[in-house]
C-alpha cells in the first residue's frame, strides 16, 4: 500500500492541506482547508469533488495553526486515510532568504533559520513556523520538508535581484527575492503540455490571488518578478499596497509618528483593494459592488497589472504569452478581459468567448501574443519536492 504525503500551506488566516498518495504520478487523495483560524474557525475536507468532513467552531474560538494541525492529525487517525501511513509532511514556507535555493529537510537548525526570517514575511512566516512546530510535537517521527516560495526565483540575474542601496545592505541579504515561486514553478512545469509556445518563449505569469505577483519566465525560468525583499512590492493586492514610493513611508513617519509596527499594519492589512474600496479585500464582492470607490479599486488593480506587464515584457525583451492563475486569475473573466484589452498594444487579441468559458487559451488564433488560463497547484509542487527530498536523503520508506 503506498504511503501518503501531507502538504500544509499556511496562509495569512487559513491553513490549506492536501494528502497525496506516493504513486507514479502522485495521486490526490483528499484536500481541504481551515479558514478564519483566530476568529470563527471552519474546517472542510473534500475528496473526489465531494465534501467528506466539515466542522465549525464557535465564533471567537482561537484555534490557531497549532490547534488546526493537531485537529488534522487526530482526524487523520480516524480512518479517512484508508490505512495509508503519512510518510512525510511538506510545508509551503514563504521566505527562504539567501540560504535556501531549494527544498530542505527541517531540523532544529533549519527551523531556527526560518524563524529568523519572520520579520521579512510577517503575514505568512510565523504561521508556517507554527505549523512545523505543531507537526514536530504531534508526529515527531514524520520527516518534514520546507518548500520555499522564494527558491524558484534564485535563477534571476543579479541585476534583477538588486536594489540601488549601498552595497553592504545587499551583502546582508537586502535584495529582491520574489514569492509565489511554487505556483510559478508548477505553471512552468505544465506549459510544455498546455502551451508549448509559451514554454519555449517569453512568458509573463500573473498569479492573482489574495496575494498577487507576476513573473517573467524565459524558457520556463524566472528572470524577473514584481515582489521584492518582502511580499509587499509590485501589484496591488487584497490588503497589501504593492509598489509604493518609499518617500510615502518617510512622510507617514514624520507626519503621524508611525513606527514600523504601525506601518506594517497599514501596508500589509489595511491597504490594497480593501484600503482603496473601503469595503472589501475580496474580488468577488468588489465585482458585484456598485460604489465609485469599489470601481476605483478595480481600476487601480487592473492598471497596476498592466504597468507591471509592460515592465516584465521589457525584462524579457519581448513577449510571447501571458498566463493568468490564482483565485482571481483563474475565475474572474472580467478582470482578465480588462487586462487583455489594455495589453492589446502588445499584440494580444482577446477571444471573448474563450475568456468567458475560462480558456485554457483565451486569445484568437492569429494573436501575436497568446493568453492562457491555467489553474495553479502549489500543493502538488510541494508534494513532488517532498518526495524528491525524501528519496535523496534516504528517508524514503521501504515497502510496508
Ligand X SMILES: CC(=O)OP(=O)(O)O
From the list 6, 7, 12, 19, which residue makes contact with ligand X (rule: CB under 6 A)?
12
From the list 32, 41, 76, 238, which residue makes contact with ligand ADP (rule: CB under 6 A)?
238
Residue 374 three-state SS: coil
CA distance 106 to 146: 6
CA distance 63 to 125: 18
For residues 162-181, which are near ligand X according to CB under 6 A?
A: 179-180
Is-contact 372 198, C-beta < 8 A?
yes
Q: How many residues bind ligand X (CB under 6 A)?
A: 11
Task: For residue 282, say whether it is annotated as part of any ligand binding site.
Answer: yes
The interface region with ligand ADP, picked from 89-97, 138-146, 263-271, 322-330 by CB under 6 A, is 322-330
CA distance 315 to 318: 8
Is-contact 178 150, C-beta < 8 A?
yes
For residues 60-89, which are near ligand X according to CB under 6 A?
A: none
Told to check if 211 binds ligand X by CB under 6 A, we report yes
Told to check if 272 binds ligand ADP by CB under 6 A, we report no
From the list 29, 224, 227, 283, which residue makes contact with ligand ADP (rule: CB under 6 A)?
283
Other Cβ atoms less than 10 A from the Cβ of 177: the count is 29
- 149 noted as active-site residue: yes
* 202-208: strand order across its sheet: 221-225, 212-218, 202-208, 321-325, 370-373
Q: Which residues contact 48 (CB under 8 A, 6 or more apart)?
A: none
Task: For residue 9, say whether it is annotated as part of any ligand binding site.
Answer: yes
Other Cβ atoms less than 10 A from the Cβ of 292: the count is 9
Is-contact 146 9, C-beta < 8 A?
no
* CB closer to ligand ADP, 316 vs 339: 339
* CB closer to ligand ADP, 94 vs 129: 94
CA distance 99 to 92: 16
Smallest separation (angstroms) from ligand ADP to the CB of 188: 18
Told to check if 271 binds ligand X by CB under 6 A, we report no
Q: Which residues of 192-211 are buried (b: 16+ CB within 10 A; e: fewer)?
A: eebbeebbebbbbbbbbbbb
Task: For residue 387, say whether it is annotated as part of any ligand binding site.
Answer: no
- Taking CB under 6 A as the rule, which mask of x and - marks residues 178-207 in contact with ligand X? -xx---------------------------
Smallest separation (angstroms) from ligand ADP to the CB of 284: 4
Task: For residue 330, say whether it is annotated as part of any ligand binding site.
Answer: yes
Identified catalytic residue from 3, 149, 233, 320:
149
CA distance 350 to 327: 20
- Which of Mg ion, ligand ADP, ligand X, none does residue 180 bind to, with CB < 5 to 8 Å depending on kind? ligand X
- Taking CB under 6 A as the rule, which mask of x and - marks residues 8-27 in contact with ligand ADP? ---x----------------
- Which of ligand X, ligand ADP, Mg ion, none does residue 244 bind to, with CB < 5 to 8 Å depending on kind? none
Orientation angle between helical segments 378-392 and 181-194, nearest 10 degrees: 100
The interface region with ligand ADP, picked from 48-56, 140-148, 328-336, 358-366 by CB under 6 A, is 328-336
Smallest separation (angstroms) from Mg ion to the CB of 394: 32
CA distance 295 to 222: 33
Q: Which residues contact 329 (CB under 8 A, 6 or more apart)?
A: 206, 207, 208, 209, 323, 335, 336, 373
CA distance 35 to 125: 17
> DSSP label at 350?
B
Told to check if 329 binds ligand X by CB under 6 A, we report no
Told to check if 209 binds Mg ion by CB under 5 A, we report yes
Smallest separation (angstroms) from ligand X to the CB of 236: 12
Pairing of strands 15-21, 144-148: unpaired
Contact set with ligand ADP (CB under 6 A): 11, 209-211, 238, 282-284, 287, 326-328, 331-332
Contact set with Mg ion (CB under 5 A): 209
Annotated binding site for ATP: 16, 207-211, 282-284, 327-331
Residues acting as catalytic residues: 149
Annotated binding site for substrate: 92
Amino acid at each position: 500500500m503506498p504511503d501518503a504525503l501531507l502538504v500544509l500551506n499556511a496562509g495569512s488566516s487559513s491553513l490549506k492541506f492536501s494528502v497525496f498518495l506516493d504513486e507514479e504520478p502522485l495521486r490526490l487523495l483528499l484536500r481541504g482547508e481551515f479558514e478564519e483560524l483566530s476568529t470563527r474557525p471552519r474546517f472542510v475536507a473534500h475528496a473526489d469533488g465531494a465534501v467528506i468532513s466539515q466542522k465549525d467552531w464557535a465564533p471567537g474560538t482561537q484555534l490557531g495553526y497549532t490547534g488546526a494541525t493537531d485537529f488534522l492529525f487526530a482526524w487523520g487517525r480516524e480512518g479517512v486515510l484508508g490505512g495509508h501511513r503519512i510518510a512525510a509532511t511538506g510545508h509551503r514556507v514563504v521566505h527562504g532568504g539567501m540560504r535556501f535555493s531549494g527544498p530542505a529537510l527541517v531540523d532544529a537548525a533549519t527551523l531556527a533559520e526560518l524563524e529568523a526570517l519572520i520579520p521579512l514575511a510577517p503575514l505568512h512566516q510565523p504561521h508556517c513556523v507554527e505549523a512545523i512546530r505543531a507537526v514536530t510535537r504531534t508526529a515527531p517521527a514524520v520527516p518534514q520538508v520546507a518548500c520555499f516560495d522564494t527558491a524558484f526565483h534564485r535563477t534571476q540575474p543579479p541585476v534583477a535581484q538588486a536594489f540601488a542601496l549601498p552595497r553592504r545592505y545587499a551583502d546582508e541579504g537586502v535584495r529582491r527575492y520574489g514569492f509565489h515561486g511554487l505556483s510559478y514553478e508548477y505553471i512552468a512545469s505544465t506549459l510544455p503540455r498546455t502551451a508549448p509556445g509559451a514554454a519555449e518563449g517569453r512568458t509573463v505569469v500573473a498569479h492573482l490571488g489574495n496575494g498577487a505577483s507576476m513573473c517573467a519566465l524565459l524558457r520556463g525560468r524566472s528572470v524577473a518578478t514584481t515582489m521584492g525583499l518582502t511580499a509587499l512590492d509590485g501589484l496591488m493586492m487584497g490588503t497589501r499596497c504593492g509598489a509604493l514610493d518609499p518617500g510615502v513611508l518617510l512622510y507617514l513617519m514624520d507626519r503621524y509618528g508611525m513606527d514600523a509596527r504601525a506601518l506594517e499594519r497599514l501596508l500589509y492589512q489595511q491597504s490594497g483593494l480593501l484600503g482603496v474600496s473601503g469595503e472589501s479585500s475580496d474580488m468577488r464582492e468588489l465585482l458585484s459592488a456598485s460604489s465609485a470607490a469599489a470601481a476605483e479599486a478595480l481600476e487601480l488593480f487592473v492598471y497596476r497589472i498592466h504597468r507591471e506587464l509592460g515592465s516584465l515584457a521589457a525584462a524579457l525583451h519581448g513577449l510571447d504569452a501571458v498566463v493568468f492563475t490564482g483565485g482571481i486569475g483563474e475565475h474572474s473573466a472580467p478582470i482578465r478581459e480588462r487586462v487583455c484589452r489594455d495589453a492589446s498594444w502588445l499584440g494580444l487579441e482577446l477571444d471573448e468567448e474563450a475568456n468567458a468559458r475560462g480558456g485554457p487559451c483565451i486569445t484568437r488564433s492569429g494573436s501575436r501574443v497568446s493568453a492562457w488560463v491555467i489553474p495553479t497547484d502549489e500543493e502538488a509542487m510541494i508534494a513532488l519536492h517532498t518526495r524528491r527530498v525524501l528519496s535523496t536523503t534516504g528517508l524514503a520508506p521501504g515497502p510496508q
